Chains A and B, each alone.
Chain A
């Protein structure tokens, strides 16, 4: 049995391109932020380099803020666009939590380049609510008096505004305070420390981890991880929309897959509007430099 990854043992870190039949890359991020375009640029560049090219996307209803993954494979013998889990050469993440989501495609030798850009999904907020610890609650009702939404709900009945009045957000039932469905999860009661017994805690069905925690997780699984603020670099280069080109530049600077700097640059030029070429070339250069620096520090 031969693996594509057969020369694992003696792979040179960073500074040389491993000879293989096929290469696997994955671009991930949020819909509408240029993830698919980045993968198209890599695909066209691979075609210029004489490879067979296959890409596939999973994006569900991406225009509406969903996750987007674009799988890219190029090489000599492959036929399908999906790599098997763990068989990735490069992971490019345009949003940091999307890198975390896709770590199942990574092995310890995968090169990971991720932008610190973070976009919290709205569902994290809309699914937020509270928990009241029944062992601590004595039913004093302090929180009822302080509950902000409760107040505005009640008030709004008499006001001519269009607030969705969902009834009280808490009630005392059987001597215990219960959080009802209509709690908005605003957590003001916790912030204001209204419960003398510390019985209230925030409950998030979905949590967006801290960026530092995500970074740590990513760094813990692979050797070559570069995390950079591509948005910041793009803004300095002239336009935040060039953030995806920053990462392509970084990838070129790393020199890990057989897509040359020049071919990538020329392909980028074909994919951006004429008047944006300068900005994008600056973005590419700065990304490239980041990649080179990283490689030299290995």
Chain B
């Protein structure tokens, strides 16, 4: 394997890298000893890049943990031993880790500890767009932000030094636009971890949060916070730029600052405003802010999502009795992602000058519209087959009920993963998706009231993540639910990461496979309430579903077939025998398209046809066609 650019031991060389690669490089340059986390867009590539670097420098520890709470705790344990530790997750992952995080931040760090939170304004690949800067305030934990790929590397590297110097946890907060952006990066030197024994820190009372210790730690935390408030003013990546005579002051940080920079260039205002760019967004640099207030007549704060800096600035002005106008969310939306156009619009609005770019784009009003391209389950996806089986049984009962329209519909309480795409046409078998592991928990509650069958649909990785307690609850309380575990041997949605059920580690080295069915059996579920089926065998799956509907008490169906995209990646050279359509038999009823919906089946010249390059040869559509018109290509 060629050494990728970001693994080179050549300080000062230049390349173009992904934000996540730069972050991984920074963590590596800092000389970490333990990295742990759980996949989640847009953070996943950080851990994957570290694992790639590990191949060339296998002198640190790295793992995908079962979930974010465990990942955080693993890194915390390493920090307790005095080692540099890194925990990596997406924004909502921090909610899962929050119990540990909130208390650990009292004690702070022993070895440098950095928690990366990758936020996702505009919910590009998330269930919400929460602003995790607020966690900094909540836990009194410093929060750092970078404006570009270079700073991302530099700041996260510095964060470890900072963490050790002030004995504090540090949160590095990024957003999709940094994680998934590319930019030029100049490499720095790689710090080698100190060669010494890293044993557990003997300061027991620091790590044991009995009430008596907790009260003492809380005081330590508050004292540390006072120090951090001070330090924030001299944070090396926080820059105050006062322009003489400027009446306007702008406060910003992270990616929004990069828009501010370019907006000022575009508007030719760079020398007419003062700026305060924060590298540390919590605690905020009060002295610098006050200085900016002093030199300005009006202040505008450009930040994404919540008015985090704005609220603070207003409070600061109030406390110091400074009657200065401070604006923010009045000109910049609180939801979604900012971009250059929105920032120019906001700034021109604030300055009350015309937006000179409003008429730049061509008029597309009278042109055709491109049809939307929503994501769909892949060709041959095993999830589609499980869904189809569920729908078949549902329809069977609908057809059999005396007044068809009065059947109580089943409820498909569901979860997060590729299978959530089953919400869309033609499947439409997803009724809920709130948080990882939530499907089973919510099903427990729904089943207490809903009269129809209640399913919980959950992926294998999600089941390991937080699904197990919900199942234990159902068994314990005898809640009448059918848990369908969609086991495709991968964390597919976020990029096919391995998980406990696959037995493979992030480094590619073998771990121990944790058998899913053993966990299910271990909850005490009755043996005749458990089915393990092949998702690609419709008959097997429908039989299991039908039996499960007709028994009382909780039951589990493990519907198992490897993710078709992953299979293609693993067996690149395997010959695929696609299916084709027998035009004689095909009535062009479009059932295979409209009701089943494999994207490999399409219409060509008004006839149903199979895209030969896309078809994975899973053969399931053969059973779906009522006319027997689909067959394997070899058959003819």
Contact = CB atoms under 8 A, between A and B. Distances in A.
Interface of A: 1-5, 21, 30, 40, 43-44, 47, 52-58, 60-67, 77-87, 97-98, 100-101, 103-108, 120-128, 148-149, 152-153, 155-157, 159, 161-167, 184-186, 188, 191, 206-209, 213-214, 217, 220-222
A186 B601 CA distance: 13
A10 B376 CA distance: 47
Given A66-B373, A87-B360, A122-B376, A43 B265 contact: no
B174 to A, nearest CB: 13
A11 to B, nearest CB: 15
B341 A84 contact: yes
Given A85-B361, A149-B591, A208-B371, A64 B597 contact: no
Contacts of B625: 161, 163
A123 B372 contact: yes
Interface residues of B, number: 86
Contacts of A44: 15-16
Nearest to B368: A209
A167 B372 contact: no
Contacts of A207: 369, 371
B626 A159 contact: yes
A157 B624 CA distance: 13
B623 A104 contact: no
Nearest to A55: B182
Interface string B578-594: 00000000011111011
Contacts, number: 249
Given A87-B360, A164-B391, 5 more contacts: A54-B181, A57-B181, A86-B361, A122-B599, A149-B591
Nearest to A210: B368
B524 interface: no
26 contacts: A1-B267, A21-B265, A47-B184, A54-B181, A55-B16, A56-B177, A63-B378, A77-B265, A80-B259, A80-B340, A84-B266, A103-B367, A121-B372, A123-B371, A123-B374, A124-B371, A125-B602, A149-B591, A152-B627, A155-B626, A161-B623, A162-B389, A162-B538, A165-B395, A167-B395, A207-B369
A83 B268 contact: no
Nearest to B404: A167
Contacts of B408: none
B51 to A, nearest CB: 20
Contact of B493 (A61, A126, A149, A153): A61
Q: Most A CB atoms within 10 A — which of B262, B395, B404, B539?
A: B262
Contacts of B596: 164
B594 A185 contact: yes
Q: Most B CB atoms within 10 A — which of A126, A127, A155?
A: A126
A87 B357 contact: yes
A54 B257 CA distance: 14
B124 A58 contact: yes
B388 A52 contact: no
A159 to B, nearest CB: 7
B460 to A, nearest CB: 18
